């Protein structure tokens, strides 16, 4: 029987170079989709999967994330003075409780594997989740909950996977497939950012993982991989054979918000998913698209 997943690690130390100048003075995880920062979606998804402890691996210039998940007395007082009790309730409703959030800093940008390793003492000796806020998933059942459910059945490491065009394999961790029932994939190997010609498949890892704590022993070797960085993918590849390892083709749509076009798509898709915005946004899109079609003629 697999142990429940109580802790999630959010690596949020990255610089967000692709989104400059938006990310010059603001963490990339604070970029908003509709009206919530990316990291807010990530934490909401984790809560919906039963996560109780939220561990952020931050870096310099990321204090806006800490402020976001803290009470703002000034804001509370201003809202109270204006009688905005609903807004106060709203703001409180999603705050993790006291002592449920922990921060540690990744002092050098040595890669995702290194960021996760920085959280080892906060995670301890239990299976845990890793959530990359750049990857946003629109789904019926929260993506991390889908993974946690699979982990409950299979144990071991579980990652969320999706097909990508072959020319994009050099942007992701790619699976070598042992067995595939169309939903669950048994993993034979993993390669970080392979050239399209060398990629063992086009099934890529997205930023959702359930991991065994033994991954920390592998990461502790601090071996450099693709791009000279300490790669989580490499540590996971070394564990194949020692523990079960599955990829889940999750239900839902993934938006890679590290890409500008996908970030824009996410804004539209999430707005269309909202009862308060759908009809107005749909009307705008219809008129926009018909103007565009006229233009293209
Ligand atoms: C990281 C992982 C990669 C994974 C990707 C998902 O890459 O190293 O294996 O496919 O996240 O978004 P990064 O986006 O940090 O380059």
- The CA distances from residue 76 to 32, 71, 111, in Å, are 22, 8, 38
* Phi, psi of 72, deg, nearest 5: -110, 100
- The CA distances from residue 294 to 64, 69, 105, 268, 291, in Å, are 44, 46, 52, 22, 5
User: Against a cut of 0.85, is the pTM above it?
Assistant: yes
Burial of 265 (0-12, 13-18, 19+ CB in 10 A): middle
Mean pLDDT over 126-154 rounds to 97
Atom of ligand 1 nearest to the CA of 171: 16
For 214-241, write each residue's pLDDT tens digit: 999 999 998 999 999 999 999 999 999 9
Q: Where are the domains of the chain?
A: 7-258, 260-297
CATH number of 7-258: 3.90.550.10
For ligand 1, is residue 192 a contact (CB within 6 Å)?
yes
For 145-184, write each residue's pLDDT tens digit: 999 999 999 999 999 999 999 999 999 999 999 999 999 9
For ligand 1, is residue 42 a contact (CB within 6 Å)?
no
Mean pLDDT over 4-16 rounds to 94
């Amino acid at each position: 029987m697999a142990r429940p997943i109580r802790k999630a690690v959010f690596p949020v130390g990255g610089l967000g170079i692709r989104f400059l100048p938006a990310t010059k003075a603001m963490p990339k995880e604070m970029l908003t989709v509709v009206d919530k920062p990316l990291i807010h979606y990530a934490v909401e998804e984790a809560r919906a999967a039963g996560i109780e402890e939220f561990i952020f691996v931050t870096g310099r210039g990321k204090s806006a994330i800490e402020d976001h998940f803290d009470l703002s007395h000034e804001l509370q007082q201003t809202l109270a003075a204006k009688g905005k009790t609903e807004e106060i309730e709203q703001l409180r409703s999603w705050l993790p409780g006291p002592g449920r959030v922990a921060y540690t800093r990744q002092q050098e940008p040595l890669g995702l594997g290194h960021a996760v390793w920085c959280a080892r003492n906060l995670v301890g000796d239990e299976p845990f989740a890793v959530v990359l806020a750049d990857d946003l998933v629109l789904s019926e059942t929260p993506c991390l909950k889908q993974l946690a459910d699979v982990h409950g059945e299979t144990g071991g490491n579980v990652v969320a996977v999706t097909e990508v065009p072959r020319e994009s394999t050099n942007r992701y961790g790619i699976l070598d497939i042992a067995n595939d029932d169309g939903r669950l994939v048994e993993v034979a190997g993993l390669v970080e950012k392979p050239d399209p010609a060398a990629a063992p498949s086009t099934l890529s890892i997205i930023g959702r993982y359930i991991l065994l704590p033994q991954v920390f022993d592998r990461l502790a070797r601090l071996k450099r991989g693709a791009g000279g960085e300490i790669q989580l993918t490499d540590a996971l590849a070394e564990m194949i054979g020692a523990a079960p390892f599955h990829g889940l083709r999750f239900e839902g749509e993934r938006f890679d918000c590290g890409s500008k076009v996908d970030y824009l798509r996410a804004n539209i898709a999430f707005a269309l998913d909202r009862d308060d915005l759908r009809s107005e946004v749909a009307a705008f899109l219809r008129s926009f698209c018909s103007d565009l079609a006229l233009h293209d003629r």
